[in-house]
Amino acid sequence: MDDGMYEGMDDGMYEGMEDEMGMEQGYGRGSGRPQGGAAGPANPSIPSRKMLSDQARAVFDKNLGLVADVVGEEFKKRFQSGAFGPLFSTVTAPPPPVDNGAGRNGAAPAASSHVVGGAVNELLMDAGEPIAMWQPGIIFLGEGNIADVIPSARAAEVDLLLHFEVVLKAGRNNNVQNVSRCRLMNVATGKQEIVSKGMSNVEAAQVTRAGRQTERGYVMGQLSSLFSFIDRSATVSELPALTPEIARRRVEALVGSPQSRSLRTLAEVRMYQAKNLLTAEEVEAVFHIVGGAEGLLMLHGPQSEKIEMARQWALQSLPSFESR
């Protein structure tokens, strides 16, 4: 997770699915969304910047409909609850621009409180185009099979890929059956972690006609194993509390390492001491094992000598030290 989640869509997507799905909320409803009225003239030097991609929204709406709605809502809940880290649970939307009546009678319109300024805009232009984002925290890599999308996900340095597969089958009476599945892929290994159950428009229509489930309940049921896996294996949790025993095991590993003679080792040991996880005697023993007399000097010597010895160790740790 920018560890952000990434979406891929299979190549075999077909248009015109909205007429075939038979879903009240639409497995393949049309992608069109009402557009606002014509905007006023904009400053050409500061182009409009949008976080979310209209293209991604259109692709998901047309090809997945209710499935996309449910998946998006479930991820939104998890982001807002802090399941993927505290950042998304603490970020708030900027306030809407305040209209103080400016712009009337020829007056200049009031500037929005969150319009990108010229200096910031120049920095954003130098940064290049951002990756298309379907929802906050979830970027869109386009349509394609898994083999094609995985390299793009690796190039974007992400960990997990959500890949939606949509298969159309000819049914009775010229009806078309739409079966969707969602796979969670480990980008580093290219292996599948889990795949959801198939979500069929025909099956959904049958259970809703029988009154056993709503369409949304059916989709959520088919996705339940996927989200159970995500909640179990792909969310963040608090690190276990440090205990004296854990600290001692860590120090044993540090002392046994070929790179133990370093300021990094001594600093970590002192940190454990500051947290009352190691005794003064244990710390002294580690400094002596790691640095001998020099280590003890950095622990007990005069301040000026401590600083000079630490400086020497720092210089010795540089790659070019031996060539001097």
Domain boundaries, the chain: 5-33+49-93+115-233, 244-323
DSSP string, 102-149: TTGGGPPPPPPTTPPPHHHHHHHHHT-PPPPEEETTEEEEEE--HHHH
Task: Look up the pTM and report it.
Answer: 0.56
Buried b / exposed e along 51-66 (16+ C-beta atoms within 10 A): eebeebbebbbbbbbb
Nearest Cα to 159, choosing from 228, 88, 223, 85?
85
pLDDT in tens, the chain (324 residues): 444 455 665 544 333 333 333 333 344 443 333 444 455 555 545 556 677 888 989 999 988 999 999 999 999 999 888 888 777 677 665 566 565 554 455 554 444 444 555 666 666 666 666 778 898 888 899 899 999 999 999 998 888 999 999 998 887 877 888 899 999 999 999 999 999 999 999 999 999 999 999 999 999 999 999 999 999 998 888 878 899 999 999 999 999 988 899 999 999 999 999 999 999 999 999 999 999 999 999 999 999 999 999 999 999 888 765 544
